[in-house]
């Protein structure tokens, strides 16, 4: 049976997933996933380990055949889209250790049949953008981990693809290298109009870089919106983070605080009590008084705004995934 794919938005969307499903026997790894990624946006794709994130990405870029559903690239069925329209930077380093940085990029350019003059120009530009110019003639085996990570990103874009998939691009980077990479990713969007699909476990990275974010778990799309809107999905108000001297009293403290007018939500986050509340500052005296009444005391307390990590944990839970 043939599948008819429809898109009335070839000018707007770089990639569309239409009812993507992947089954392995009785296991449904991805369950009817549909989403649209706009041209020229940084799209964050988040999910715990085993959520179906990698399977979804692999189907979108053509590395895995879906059980059902379709993928459109720039309005075309993925099977008919030019292979060079996508660049992939995997989490694992894919480099030739005995070649220099420039040679690695040149080999990749040759694989895409780029004219040598264009390849040379791209090599110089990318090495400069990623602070690797001084290492152009250095063998990869002699580079630091951060330099290898940046070179890995450069290999993914040497052929000037329209869509770039970055899988945990800043994993293991020091703060300076991470900021450099973030600036490079932003420039791919702002200066070159690239569409970037970013998978990361770093909530700060997703929040800082992404125009829109999809959160997936158990193969299903849970939320899909801008970072700002996502941070409003689990309620208004600020977060009071509190620790009490005797953690064994946490349950009693939380049970008592639930009756405080203005508290919207309360939970135990690894021994720390998190309270979502309206007009949080005005509630502090009553909260402290009630804690004292349970025969313990507040040892630490602070107020912060809602974060993307709060949303992620709320939607996907606190249990570890292996």
Give pLDDT, residue 301: 96
Give pLDDT, residue 318: 60
Check if the beta carbon of residue 243 is closer than 8 Å to that of residue 298. yes
Please, which residues bridge with residue 320 across strands?
A: none
Cβ neighbours, 10 Å, residue 251: 12
Please tell me whether residue 199 adopts helix, strand or coil conformation.
Answer: strand
Q: Which residues contact 80 (CB under 8 A, 6 or more apart)?
A: none
- For 13-230, the fitting CATH number among 3.40.50.300, 1.10.8.870, 3.40.50.720, 3.40.640.10 is 3.40.50.300
Q: Which residues contact 235 (CB under 8 A, 6 or more apart)?
A: 264, 265, 276
Give pLDDT, residue 4: 43
In whole angstroms, give the CA distance from residue 240 to residue 94.
44
In whole angstroms, give the CA distance from residue 118 to residue 121.
5
Six token digits for residue 184: 């490079």
Q: What is the largest CA-CA distance in the chain?
A: 76
Please, which residues bridge with residue 269 across strands?
A: 272
Q: How many helices (H) and strands (E) does the chain have?
A: 10, 14
- Going from the C-alpha of 25 to that of each of 29, 131, 187, the distances in angstroms are 10, 47, 43
Nearest alpha carbon to residue 240 among 189, 311, 288 = 288
Ranges of the chain with pLDDT below 50: 1-5, 7-8, 320-321
Give pLDDT, residue 2: 39
> May I ask the CATH architecture of the domain 238-316?
2-Layer Sandwich (3.30)
Give pLDDT, residue 1: 38
Check if the beta carbon of residue 89 is closer than 8 Å to that of residue 155. yes
Check if the beta carbon of residue 297 is closer than 8 Å to that of residue 245. yes
Q: For the chain, which residues make up each domain, given as ranges?
A: 13-230, 238-316
State the DSSP string of 141-175. Answer: GGS-HHHHHHHHHHHHHTT--SEEEEESTTTT--H
Six token digits for residue 67: 């059980």
Please tell me whether residue 238 adopts helix, strand or coil conformation.
Answer: strand
- Each residue's pLDDT tens digit, 29-74: 999 999 999 999 999 999 998 899 999 999 999 999 999 999 999 9
The count of residues in the chain is 322
In whole angstroms, give the CA distance from residue 233 to residue 222.
11
């Amino acid at each position: 049976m043939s599948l008819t794919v429809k898109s009335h938005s070839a000018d707007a969307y770089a990639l569309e997933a239409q009812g993507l499903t992947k089954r392995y026997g009785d296991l449904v790894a991805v369950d009817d996933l549909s989403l649209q990624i706009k041209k020229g946006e940084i799209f964050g794709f988040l999910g715990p380990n085993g959520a179906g994130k990698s399977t979804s990405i692999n189907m979108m870029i053509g590395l895995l055949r879906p059980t059902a559903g379709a993928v459109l690239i720039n309005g075309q069925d993925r099977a008919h889209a030019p292979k060079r329209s996508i660049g992939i930077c995997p989490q694992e380093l894919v480099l030739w250790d005995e070649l220099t940085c420039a040679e690695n990029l040149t080999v990749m350019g040759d694989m895409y049949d780029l004219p040598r003059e264009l390849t040379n120009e791209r090599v110089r530009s990318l090495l400069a953008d990623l602070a690797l110019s001084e290492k152009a003639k250095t063998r990869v085996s002699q580079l630091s981990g951060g330099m290898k990570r940046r070179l890995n990103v450069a290999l993914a874009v040497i052929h000037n693809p329209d869509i770039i998939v970055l899988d945990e691009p800043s994993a293991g980077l020091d703060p300076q290298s991470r900021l450099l990479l973030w600036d490079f990713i932003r420039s791919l969007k702002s200066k070159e109009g690239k569409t970037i699909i970013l998978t990361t476990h770093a909530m700060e990275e997703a929040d800082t870089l992404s125009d829109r974010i999809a959160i997936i778990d158990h193969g299903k799309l849970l939320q899909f919106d801008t970072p700002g809107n996502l941070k409003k999905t689990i309620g208004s108000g600020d977060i009071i983070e509190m620790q009490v001297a005797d953690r064994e009293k946490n349950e009693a403290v939380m049970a008592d605080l639930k009756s405080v007018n203005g508290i919207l939500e309360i939970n135990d986050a690894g021994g720390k009590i998190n309270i979502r509340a309206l007009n949080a500052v005005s509630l502090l005296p009553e909260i402290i008084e009630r804690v004292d009444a349970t025969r313990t005391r507040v040892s630490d307390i602070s107020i912060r705004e809602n974060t993307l990590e709060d949303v992620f944990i709320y939607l996907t839970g606190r249990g570890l995934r292996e």
